[in-house]
Amino acid sequence: MTITFIGHGYVGLVTAAVFADLGNTVNVVGHTPEKIENLKKGIIPIFEPGLSELVKKNIDAGRLMFTLSFDKVIPEADVVFIAVGTPSTTTGDADLSTVLDVAEKIGKNLKGYTVVATKSTVPAGTNKKVQRILAESKPKGAEVSYASVPEFLREGSAISDTVNPDRIVIGASDSRAQKLLIKLHEPIKAPVVLTNFETAELIKYAANSFLALKISYANAIAKLSELLGADALKVLEGIGMDKRIGSLFLSPGPGYGGSCFPKDVKALITIAKDNDYAFSLLEEVENINSQMRRDVVKKARKALGELRGKKIGILGLAFKPNTDDMRDAPAIDIITLLVNDGAQICAFDPQAMGNAKTVLPKIEYARDMYSVADGADLLIVLTDWNDFKEIDLGEIKKRMKTLSIIDTRNIYEPSEIVKAGFSYIGVGR
Ligand code: UDX
């Protein structure tokens, strides 16, 4: 099939590369000339394990192309996927301006029969608007069906999540679109949920909010464990063994971040409010999440007393490992609070320092993970990168002024850290 993707972020680029790899002809439309020129050469704008290789392989095979113009690649497409960003506005709603803008550009260029499907996470009701724009802007004679095919990939494991998803959700306007989308997804072996737009859209928000809720629940149990002297990791392991609960997404930490959970929880609260339902359960999920970020600063104050003038080394900035993404990373709030208290920060992240410099321009960045320890009074682990798990404690010990570690991801075995001469503060233990 011939497919066009609008957008080359995590969702657009990964899904486009995977569909190309499955043998389809895939065009990707962007709006930044420099990024498109780079993509044509196989230089990708994001860090995602394996993606660069997959993109290059499919460019070389002539199955994956990049362009700035809609008019070249919409008319020939069997399926057009909208995969542009929907960031939160200041009021908490999802910003739909790009989705609606590209819908009109797609509509104007339609030819023959085309299925237009949204991959972007959009609030219930948006797809009806997109469908209307397509119908109003399409040339006479062009036929269009509309669908919502939400994406569930995680950054860091995006390719395998796309190739082996838990399910494929297809919310289509008619059976012709449904059949075409089922055919397109045929090589991907996963159960398919066939439904209408509204349901497909809500599945995505409800899934992400439930996962965020699970993390906040684990964080609340971690707080309670600290107060009771219980070991949260054992408690969570114990409850996760119940198949009805499951062990995934129960790791306590500095709170969830990234481009999806914070935004989607906020959007679902707003969607509910707009429909006169107070989703207070999710408001508490957000409260617990921001408490966890403040809690790291409280622990730093407890370890050091006054923070003014103290040197704190930060290991990890990205919202999770194996990504360079800084969107809504706990590190942003935590470092800002530490700096406000007068601490001097030196940070290292294997991939995210480039992006971090734009949101945290005033702190010092180290050239490697050991340099953050130079003269430090405290070390705080904020992202669970494998490199940090294997750190040489002897080397750290030589460089630090005071031997103290806050491990917000529980990556170390407390007894080993204490044996090496450090004071250790984890989460929930
Ligand atoms: C998420 C969803 O998992 C994915 O299905 C959706 O399509 C996009 O949003 P992503 O944001 O890439 O994916 O990352 P994910 O691995 O889900 O982690 C999100 C955040 O939760 C990270 O900050 C992570 O550190 C945190 N987290 C995750 C925890 O704090 N504890 C956990 O147990 C799991």
Q: How far is the CA of 375 from the centre of ligand 1 (A)?
A: 33
85 and 121 belong to one structural domain: yes
> Tokens 């410099």 — which residue?
357
Complete edge-to-edge strand list for the sheet that includes strand 344-348: 364-365, 344-348, 311-315, 378-381, 404-407, 423-425
pLDDT for the residue numbered 91 = 77
Cβ 40 vs Cβ 115: under 8 Å: no
Rounded percentage of the chain residues whose pLDDT exceeds 90: 92
- 202-229 pLDDT, tens per residue? 999 999 999 999 999 999 999 999 999 9
* Number of structural domains the chain divides into: 3
Report the atom number in ligand 1 closest to the C-alpha of 409. Answer: 30
Report the atom number in ligand 1 closest to the C-alpha of 260. Answer: 9
Domain boundary among 131, 162, 195: 195
Q: How far is the CA of 261 from the centre of ligand 1 (A)?
A: 7
- 21-56 pLDDT, tens per residue? 999 999 999 999 999 999 999 999 998 999 999 999
Answer yes or no: is the C-beta of 428 below 6 A from any ligand 1 atom.
Answer: no
- Which string of b and e fits 295-327 if b means at least 16 CB within 10 Å? bbbebbeebbeebeebbbbbbbbbbbbbbbbbb
Asked, for residue 289, whether it belongs to a domain, the answer is no
Q: How far is the CA of 306 from the centre of ligand 1 (A)?
A: 33
29 and 100 belong to one structural domain: yes
88 and 126 belong to one structural domain: yes
133 and 81 belong to one structural domain: yes
Is pLDDT at 197 greater than 90 in this prediction?
no
- 303-362 pLDDT, tens per residue? 999 999 999 999 999 999 999 999 999 999 999 999 999 999 999 999 999 999 999 999
The range of the structural domain enclosing residue 36 comes to: 2-195
pLDDT for the residue numbered 367 = 97
pLDDT for the residue numbered 89 = 78
pLDDT for the residue numbered 87 = 76
Distance CA 364, CA 50 (A): 30
Residue 62: which region, alpha, beta or left (left: phi > 0; alpha: psi -120 to 50)?
left
Asked, for residue 262, whether it belongs to a domain, the answer is yes
Tokens of 365: 């960045």
Report the atom number in ligand 1 closest to the C-alpha of 215. Answer: 31
Which member of 99, 169, 172, 260 is catalytic?
260
| Residue 346 is a catalytic residue | no
Distance CA 287, CA 270 (A): 15
CATH number, domain containing residue 266: 1.10.1040.10
Answer yes or no: is the C-beta of 254 below 6 A from any ligand 1 atom.
Answer: no
21 and 92 belong to one structural domain: yes
Average pLDDT over residues 245-271: 95
- 231-246 pLDDT, tens per residue? 999 999 999 999 999 9
Tokens of 353: 């320092």
Is pLDDT at 290 greater than 90 in this prediction?
yes
Angle formed by the axes of helices 280-304 and 330-340, to 10°?
Answer: 50
Is pLDDT at 124 greater than 80 in this prediction?
no
Instruction: Please state, rounded to an integer, the average pLDDT across all residues of the chain.
Output: 95
Read off the pLDDT band of 88 (50, 70, 90).
confident
pLDDT for the residue numbered 15 = 97
Asked, for residue 113, whether it belongs to a domain, the answer is yes
Ligand 1 pocket test, pick from 15, 118, 236, 261 with the greatest ligand atom count within 8 Å of Cβ, gives 261
pLDDT for the residue numbered 210 = 98
Asked, for residue 117, whether it belongs to a domain, the answer is yes
pLDDT for the residue numbered 86 = 80
pLDDT for the residue numbered 198 = 85
Is pLDDT at 140 greater than 90 in this prediction?
yes
Is pLDDT at 68 greater than 80 in this prediction?
yes
